[in-house]
């Protein structure tokens, strides 16, 4: 192991203070947060964080899809631009570390690097920008990764602005309402770094503290509409009922069977069902299912989509209903930049932090950004593998260890003038 005294460390006090304060916005009072995209709580968190960046000399920018950036130029106008970030929106009744840690750690890491560079008389060779991506979670507006996907050119801006929540409110309307319908051009970085909680228990079980993600799984987000016939739950004979929820139940069970058949190479879920008219004494006339299919290889996603399409008519017919696919959002599988993986591992070794390699099954903004610039996600452990829940937790020591790795990545990339082959 290298002499750790020569390594740049995160200002753990700053990181902890930022995490504690931002966790107050949307707090549920039981350790979690409820801060879906473009809600009042999301606005409050962004307003506060924007102030923190401005106070430290960052230029705050907001693009047309509502991505929030804080840019600080430490080198010349033509110097490489390093982007670091994640997201401040959360799931309903979610955890306070998911996404938020990555945004807060970005600020703490850059500030720690600036401090050490000034103390050592080092002139930075790169400029820096913090990214808080809009609607990473996809909880309120679908699809997820919406802001970063527009940034990467994978999704059309106008289409994204037209997305609506379950109350019919559009992204465009809500951006205007909370004051985040920007007009600034999005900064164009040379590379992107993201640090995140693992969201699984593999690291905890292995006793590791740092894990670069090598690959990101592909995903299909399928919206299926089941149509039956609305009627009274009392007098309508059982044999005459066309129950959309019963049809949905057959489809839900089949989606699970797909995953069971494919073992660990396909993960599936139906985590949301919108029922209409949703009255306890009306046979449902309509049900909309939000289906997810996730796999590391395109062939598995193709197989699962084909099986689902083939099975839908028969499954719905078992309940005297019909079903059709209304939309599919597709996210390709891919690999993160191997140079950033190697750099992460070298730095973890230099700090003496036990490490391992992982894939990410869930989506991260780095998945979208990875299509246009070299990118990586670095994970720290999640206690019990809990994520998207109020008791989601990562220890302050592990948060700081991840921050150490992040700030040292910044230092080495900066010393190499942004050249990843030399970092």
388 appears as a binding residue in the annotation = yes
Cβ(285)–Cβ(244) below 8 Å: yes
Q: Which two tokens stand for residue 355?
A: 């490490």
87 appears as a binding residue in the annotation = yes
98 appears as a binding residue in the annotation = yes
Q: Which two tokens stand for residue 376?
A: 């990586």
Contacts 24+ apart (CB under 8 A), 49-55: 49/22, 49/88, 49/103, 49/104, 49/107, 49/132, 52/18, 52/107, 53/107, 53/130
* 3-state secondary structure labels for all residues of the chain: CCCHHHCCCCCHHHHHHHHHHHCCCCECCCCCECCCCCCHHHHHHHHHHHHHHHHCCCEEEECCCCCEEEEECCCCCCCCEEEEEECCCCCCCECCCCCHHHHHHHHHHHHHHHHHHHHHCCCCCCEEEEEECCCCCCCCCCCCCHHHHHHCCCCCHHHHHCCECCCCCEHHHHHHHHCCCCCCCCCCCCEEEEEEECCCCHHHHHCCCEEEEEEECEEEEEEEEEECCCEECCCCCHHHCCCHHHHHHHHHHHHHHHHHHHHHHCEEEEEEEEEECCCCCEECCEEEEEEEEEECCHHHHHHHHHHHHHHHHHHHHCCCCEEEEEEEEEECCEECCHHHHHHHHHHHHHHCCCECCEEECCCCHHHHHCCCCCEEEEEECCHHHCCCCCCCCCCHHHHHHHHHHHHHHHHHHHHCCCCCCCC
Token look-up 């753990």 returns: 12
196 appears as a binding residue in the annotation = yes
Residue 218, CA distances (Å) to 40, 62, 296 in order: 32, 29, 6
Q: Could you tell me which residues are beta bridge partners of residue 274?
A: 288
Binding site: what residues are annotated?
87, 98, 137, 196, 388
Binding site for Zn(2+): what residues are annotated?
87, 98, 137, 196, 388
């Amino acid at each position: 192991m290298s002499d750790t005294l020569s390594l740049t460390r995160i200002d753990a006090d700053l990181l902890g203070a930022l995490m504690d304060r931002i966790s107050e916005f949307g707090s549920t009072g039981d350790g979690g947060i409820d801060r879906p995209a473009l809600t009042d709580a999301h606005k409050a968190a962004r307003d506060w964080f924007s102030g923190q960046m401005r106070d430290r000399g960052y230029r705050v920018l907001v693009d047309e899809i509502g991505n929030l950036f804080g840019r600080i130029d430490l080198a010349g106008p033509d110097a490489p631009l390093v982007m670091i970030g994640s997201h401040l929106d959360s799931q309903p009744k979610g955890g306070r570390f998911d996404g938020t840690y990555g945004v807060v750690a970005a600020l703490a890491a850059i500030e720690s690097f600036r401090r050490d560079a000034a103390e050592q008389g080092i002139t930075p060779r790169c400029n820096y920008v913090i990214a808080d991506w809009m609607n990473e979670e996809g909880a309120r507006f679908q699809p997820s990764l919406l802001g970063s996907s527009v940034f990467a050119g994978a999704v059309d801006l106008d289409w994204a602005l037209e997305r609506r929540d379950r109350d019919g409110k559009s992204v465009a309307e809500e951006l205007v309402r909370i004051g985040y319908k920007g007009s600034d051009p999005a900064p164009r970085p040379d590379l992107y770094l993201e640090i995140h909680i693992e969201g699984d228990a593999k690291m905890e079980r292995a006793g590791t503290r740092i894990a670069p993600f090598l690959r990101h799984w592909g995903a299909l987000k399928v919206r299926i509409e089941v149509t039956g016939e609305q009627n009274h739950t009392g007098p309508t004979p059982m044999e005459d009922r066309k129950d959309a929820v019963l049809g949905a139940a057959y489809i839900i069970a089949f989606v699970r069977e797909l995953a069971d058949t494919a073992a660990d190479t396909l993960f599936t879920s139906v985590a949301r069902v919108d029922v209409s008219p949703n009255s306890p004494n009306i046979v449902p006339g309509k049900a909309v299912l939000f289906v997810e299919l996730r796999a590391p290889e395109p062939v598995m996603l193709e197989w699962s989509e084909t099986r689902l399409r083939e099975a839908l008519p028969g499954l719905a017919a078992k309940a005297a209903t019909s079903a059709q696919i209304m939309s599919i959002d597709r996210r390709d599988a891919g690999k993160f930049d191997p140079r950033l993986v190697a750099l992460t591992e070298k730095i973890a070794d230099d700090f003496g932090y036990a490490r391992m390699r992982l894939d990410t099954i869930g989506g991260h903004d780095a998945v979208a950004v990875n299509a246009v610039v070299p990118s990586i996600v670095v994970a720290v452990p999640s206690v019990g593998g809990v994520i998207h829940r109020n008791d989601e937790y990562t220890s302050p020591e592990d948060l700081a260890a991840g921050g150490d790795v992040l700030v040292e990545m910044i230092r080495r990339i900066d010393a190499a003038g942004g050249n990843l082959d030399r970092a």
